[in-house]
Amino acid sequence: LTAELIGKESGTIDSSQFNIVDSKGRKFRPTDNTDVMMILSDSSIFLKQVDPNVPVNGKAVFDIATDATGLKLEIKDLRTFSNEKGYVDLGL
């Protein structure tokens, strides 16, 4: 993933801001499996400080049902008290 904060304030990317949503409306959270997180350690996108208008790269792992189709990445706004969300079609 490549993430960028558009605006004037920095922030921290948190796993609670991301879900994968399928065509049935099911939501899949990023894995919290410690073995996977240890393997990703330095390349994980989560808990990275992001400065405004400076893209950061990283990886995220999701546990997704084998019958899931029409997958989209749901991204929640970083701003406090914001309920805004954006979606990226993953083409899967």
Could you read off the pLDDT of 2-42 as tens digits, one per residue? 888 888 888 888 888 899 999 999 999 998 776 666 676 67
Gap between the Cα atoms of 19 and 74, Å rounded: 5
> Nearest 5°: phi and psi at 14?
-125, 145
- The answer as to whether 52 is a domain residue is yes
Half-sphere exposure of 61 (CA within 13 A, CB side): 13
45-58: average pLDDT: 86
The three-state secondary structure class of 8 is coil
**Structural domains counted in the chain:** 1
33-61: average pLDDT: 79
- The answer as to whether 89 is a domain residue is no
Single pTM value for the model: 0.78
Domain that residue 17 falls in: 2-80
51 has a pLDDT exceeding 70: yes
What local confidence, expressed as pLDDT, does residue 37 receive? Answer: 63
- The answer as to whether 56 is a domain residue is yes
